Structure 1
Amino acid sequence: MALHKDRHEMSAIYNISNPGSCNNIPKSHSGEDSKASSAASGLQLYKVGTVAFGLLSLLLLGLIIYVACHMEVRSRTLTEERSELKKTLNDLVSKQNSLTEERDNLTRINSDTEARLTAISLERDELKKSLNITDSQLRSVTEERDRLKVKIGWRIFRGSAYYTSSTEKTWQESRTYCQSVGADLMIINSKEEQNFANSFQTYMWIGLTDSETEGRWKWVDGSPLTTSYWTDGEPNGNAGENCGEIKTFTAERSWNDGTCSHSLKWICEMKLS
């Protein structure tokens, strides 16, 4: 028994000191370690892949969220721009409608104005036609009147007709008669008119007086005396002689101031134009 035990112990020592010569160690033990190592390595790779896939998923999710937010903002912006464009378009349409309405009103007013102008033009032409007829008739009547006046004692001179009376009246009565036939006592403003008045060779009243203000002679139309043909020394009657008369008609300077209440012949003047 002691010998067997020693051998066994020696065998164990030998195996310990010569591990490579030990043929009794199972070869399957080394394969199990290799499998375990491979399994650990695969697990590690799985974990790394899982983490990478998770990170990639998070990155993709973030990108999707960013794109979605960006699209939402862009959509809101486009919606606002579309609303502004619609509003602008509506304003333009409203302005266009207003302008169209204003244009139509102006066109209507223009048409009405043209119609009125046409009517006025036609009426003007008719009035011109009537006026021409009236002017022609007036000329005929005027010519006939002038002829009649010449026939009844009126004489034409420089656009006026003159009548000398055959009877005698006071200065005021003479003027009243002249006014009753559309005339007045004669006014003399030129040498030619003075010579024409003298040509009647009649002692007669003319339309000159200072009855309103002594010494301030004026004609019956209210105009002041500027050119005079007083006889030398005249006027000299002061307040007693306030009416003008032609007395010494044989000379150019033939005027005299006479008493207005005296009766004389007179000369009327009627403007023809």
Structure 2
Amino acid sequence: MVCHEEDHRYGNVPDPSAKRVESKICSDEDRNVAAAEPGIKRYRLAAVILGLLCVLQAALIIFLLLSLFSERDEFKRTNVDVEAGFKNLTEERDDLKRKLNNSVSERDALKRTNLDVEAGFKNLTEERDDLKRKLNNSVSERDALKRTNLDVEAGFKTLTEERDDLKRKLNNSAQGGWEYFNGSFYYISSIEKTWQQSRDDCRQKGADLVIINSKEEQDFTRKFKKSLWIGLTDSETEGTWKWVDGTPLTTRFTHFYHSVHSN
């Protein structure tokens, strides 16, 4: 209570001594402040500069971070593109490998097909050549058969003509002097003529002087027991004997000439 009153008192009544002290203190502070103002300004300037540097550094850090983030994103996009490109290249490589394998398989299949075609062509060529050869053989055989048939027909015609001639001669022999022996007819004339006259007479009858071709035929002519003209002559070259059909004389039946006369 008392203190309060004192405080109230001092608060309401100015004290001159106290004012002087306060003035003095203020004056001293003013002088100190005035003396400290250049330093304060320098500190303030340094603080401002430091703040600006901090701001610049922060801005630079932010810029660098943004750049790093941008580069990171760019790298990410590049990596994504590279991965996508690598994936595409891998797929293209795999697709090319698959196409290459398919192409190789098709090539091998075509090779096998070509081999089969070549083998088939070779077989067909061989079969064609074999058929041609058989056809040629068949044609040759056919031609040979035709010729054989012609020969047979000619032989048949000849045999028919010979048969008819033999029949005619047989009829004539029955009528006048012909004698049959071993498929041929022989006429023994009772009229003596020269060799040439005898041959001409034989030709007029459709025959010729006898040609001795076998021992049997020689024995047949001997049974007539007379001298006979035979178809042996040296009229072309004297001393060179030939039969009337042009064949040369052999010595097989030379002993016959002692009993059968010739020209």
Q: Which has the higher contact order (CA 8 A, sep 6+)?
A: 1
Whose helix proportion is higher, 1 or 2? 2
- TM-score range normalised by the length of the shorter chain: 0.3 to 0.5
Select the structure of larger CA radius of gyration: 2
Q: TM-score, normalised by structure 2?
A: 0.48
Whose strand proportion is higher, 1 or 2? 1
Q: TM-score, normalised by structure 1?
A: 0.46
